[in-house]
Structure 1
Amino acid sequence: MNMFQDWPEPIVRVQSLSQSNLKAIPNRYVKPLSQRPNLPSQNHHNKHNPVTAAIPIIDLGGLYTNDITLHAKTLDEISKACKEWGFFQVVNHGMSPQLMNRAKETWREFFHLPMELKNMHANSPKTYEGYGSRLGVEKGAILDWSDYYYLHYRPSSLKDYTKWPSLPLHCREVLEDYCMEMVKLCENLMNILSRNLGLQEDILQNAFGGIEESGGCLRVNYYPKCPQPELTLGLSPHSDPGGLTILLPDEQVAGLQVRGCDDAWITVEPAPHALIVNIGDQIQMLTNSIYKSIEHRVIVSPANERLSLAFFYNPKGNIPIEPLKELVTEDSPALYSSTTYDQYRQSIRTQGPRSKSHIDELRSPR
């Protein structure tokens, strides 16, 4: 599926740059003025800086209760968050804090391994699986201040343990447990999203190719300390290309920012043991823009490394994705032309993250 056998330039690990104690970051990481984060200065809070507004925090415990009112209220909160925010945090989501902590610890250990051990897992643009340091294959592109590890979990035909890290010990077992819980949560949320649209609960899941064929992959983001965080980003603004994203954030170091309705960047402060859920472009297309995929980005820190785990739940690669016929009416005609997730992902892997331009290109001409 991918034309690119290799990266256009030698790969530089951002972690190596960070550890070399450089005072200024290389030009390759310096964003144009308009894209630089406006960071709060250390001494005072400037009111023009990104605001800390709370994205909704939803207690999923309400779904597993006999209290009908609470159940309905929880469904309503999810519906509102999908329509208005595209982002929400969930607590009482069913995943044990122990497993969440173990997953983070395991990956922290991986990123602290000697470079030659990590480089044994170096990835290529052919599949992106493995240890990576850039998105997109454009020569001379301005890069983000981060390294990552990417792997496939579902469908089982794509799962390849040889692409998973072999160290630290037991990491594959932890990963397996973690991804299994993530799939359960995603399937559950897909049913809820369908019901909230007034549809049968398996409609969205079927549009993804059904339970067996839906895709699931994990991207672990590692953001090393940065001497000039005001000049760069850990991850450039983008909306997620896939279906549903579940993020296990770094509770110690905030970094995720979401674009609010007035275009201000809102820093997400993670609630204890919460997961952050966001809608991806495929669900925005399937729901004909009833549910929104929202632009987000990541800022980096001068004093602390940061680690987060993003689990992506995606449609099967070759199924046509277009607005669901149940949601297309005379009053709300289809907003998007048909595409497949494979085609969609290809453009993002070629160009790297570019705001919302990828989904906007598919808008049907009026």
Structure 2
Amino acid sequence: MNCPSDWPEPIVRVQSLSETGNTMIPNRYIKPPPERPSFNTGSDSLLNIPVIDLSGLASGDPTIQQATRDEISVACREWGFFQVVNHGIRHDLVDGARETWREFFHQPMEMKQDYANAPKTYEGYGSRLGVQKGAILDWSDYFFLHYLPSNLKNHNKWPSHPPFLRDVVEEYSQEIVRLGKVLLEVFSINLGLEESYLQKAFGGDDIGACLRVNFYPKCPQPDLTLGLSPHSDPGGMTFLLPDEHVSGLQVRKGGEWITVKPVRHAIIVNIADQIQVLTNAIYKSVEHRVIVNPNKERVSLAYFFNPKSDVLIEPATKLVTSKTPALYQPMTFDEYRLFIRTKGPQGKSQVDSLKSSK
């Protein structure tokens, strides 16, 4: 399966649609009725994903360290999503990363168009995911860039304006990669594996790391569309820096959509499909989506912490027994993500389709 070199239809920037002031959105953004968001406040309004203080991991007190690992274990098994605070990333860097990208999206369109992307790599300024002609689109624009492996990183493909953006992204990326390695070690210990198991399974130090900055413009009909359709993330683990001023992320829990309430300066962590495969579905990736707002734009940074593209991903041998046989056949991450790049967000259909028929 190969990705085409260009999009099947002319690209329309959602930000430009929003700025026209029209009170109705084009038909190609209107979701079928069963897929439209509901804005009724129900029993889920008080629920939120777990919030975990990571300072306990470095406390030096084994009891506190174990309690923190236990919190992470429960969050991974029961939610697949959690927020981390005291994660070691400076607050000014967290705020700066988000607001620098907000500034990018408010530059003149001709400057942003210099970075227009194509479906082969997705790198650059984009407005759609997937290349199916006639697809119903999401109400969002984005910027996608590579950080690791280093041979894919090209600062010239990163925006040169605002002038300090590249430095901010570089420093923020280093911190996210550090955090990712810490959590992979915790996951490994919690699963009864060697502490370096998942890091090695990802390819050692030769992992993948890439950033998608999402821009969700104001939408005059937020009940008819979505900023991002339901999906589980195809990679290993995702670190989301949300917009603290407006909620938008929703997580599926027990058949309901829970709106995540961001904690100040927290990073949202979610299990993605490759960890579901590696853990033989002990940890599961979880469907999530993004709703849009009629009065406020929203900016978020999704950092994808992924296995090396050509390493085979399969359930850890220690987690496969006669009672818990391997659910998945080996597949490289590169083979896996071609599905996503072709079809765009499709719920959990890809990872579920990989389950062995035995």
TM-score, normalising length from structure 2? 0.98
- The residue identity in structure 2 corresponding to 1:114 is P
| 2:223 aligned with 1:230 | yes
Partner of 2:177: 183
Partner of 1:258: 251
The 5 Å alignment of 1:42-191 reads 45=41, 47=42, 51-191=45-185
What is the CA-CA distance between 1:352 and the residue it aligns to? 0.5
Partner of 1:19: 19
Deviations 1:275-300 (A, max 9, x none): 00000000000000011100000000
Q: Secondary structure in 2 aligned to 1:173? A: helix
What is the CA-CA distance between 1:364 and the residue it aligns to? 0.4
Task: Give me the whole-angstrom Cα distance separating, in 1, the residues matched to 2:351 and 2:219.
Answer: 31
- The residue identity in structure 2 corresponding to 1:8 is P
Partner of 2:28: 28
| 2:217 aligned with 1:247 | no
Any conservation in 2 of the 1:57–1:91 contact (CA below 8 Å)? Answer: yes
| 2:30 aligned with 1:37 | no
Deviations 1:220-261 (A, max 9, x none): 00000000000000000000000010000001100000000x
Q: Secondary structure in 2 aligned to 1:158? A: coil
- The residue identity in structure 1 corresponding to 2:241 is L
Task: Give me the whole-angstrom Cα distance separating, in 2, the residues matched to 1:308 and 1:190.
Answer: 23
- The residue identity in structure 2 corresponding to 1:113 is Q
Task: Give me the whole-angstrom Cα distance separating, in 2, the residues matched to 1:291 and 1:220.
Answer: 26
- Aligned CA-pair RMSD: 1.0
| 2:190 aligned with 1:196 | yes
- The residue identity in structure 2 corresponding to 1:343 is E
Matched length: 358
What is the CA-CA distance between 1:67 and the residue it aligns to? 2.2
Partner of 1:6: 6
What is the CA-CA distance between 1:51 and the residue it aligns to? 3.3
| 2:230 aligned with 1:273 | no
Deviations 1:156-179 (A, max 9, x none): 011111211111111100110010
Task: Give me the whole-angstrom Cα distance separating, in 1, the residues matched to 2:250 and 2:46.
Answer: 9
Deviations 1:164-222 (A, max 9, x none): 111111110011001010100001111111111111111101111111x1000000000
Partner of 1:319: 311
Q: Secondary structure in 2 aligned to 1:177? A: helix
- The residue identity in structure 2 corresponding to 1:15 is Q
Partner of 1:340: 332
Q: Secondary structure in 2 aligned to 1:83? A: helix
Any conservation in 2 of the 1:51–1:265 contact (CA below 8 Å)? Answer: no
Task: Give me the whole-angstrom Cα distance separating, in 1, the residues matched to 2:111 and 2:62.
Answer: 53
- The residue identity in structure 1 corresponding to 2:176 is M
Q: Which runs of 4+ in 1 moved over 3 A?
A: none
Partner of 1:329: 321
Deviations 1:116-167 (A, max 9, x none): 0000000000110000000000000000000000000001011111211111
Deviations 1:26-59 (A, max 9, x none): 000000000000013xxxx4x37x6341111000
Any conservation in 1 of the 2:3–2:342 contact (CA below 8 Å)? Answer: no
- The residue identity in structure 1 corresponding to 2:81 is F
Task: Give me the whole-angstrom Cα distance separating, in 1, the residues matched to 2:201 and 2:348.
Answer: 22
What is the CA-CA distance between 1:105 and the residue it aligns to? 1.2
| 2:298 aligned with 1:289 | no
Any conservation in 1 of the 2:242–2:301 contact (CA below 8 Å)? Answer: yes
What is the CA-CA distance between 1:331 and the residue it aligns to? 1.0
Task: Give me the whole-angstrom Cα distance separating, in 2, the residues matched to 1:306 and 1:318.
Answer: 34
Task: Give me the whole-angstrom Cα distance separating, in 2, the residues matched to 1:283 and 1:352.
Answer: 20
Unaligned runs of 5+ in 2: none
Q: Secondary structure in 1 aligned to 2:171? A: helix
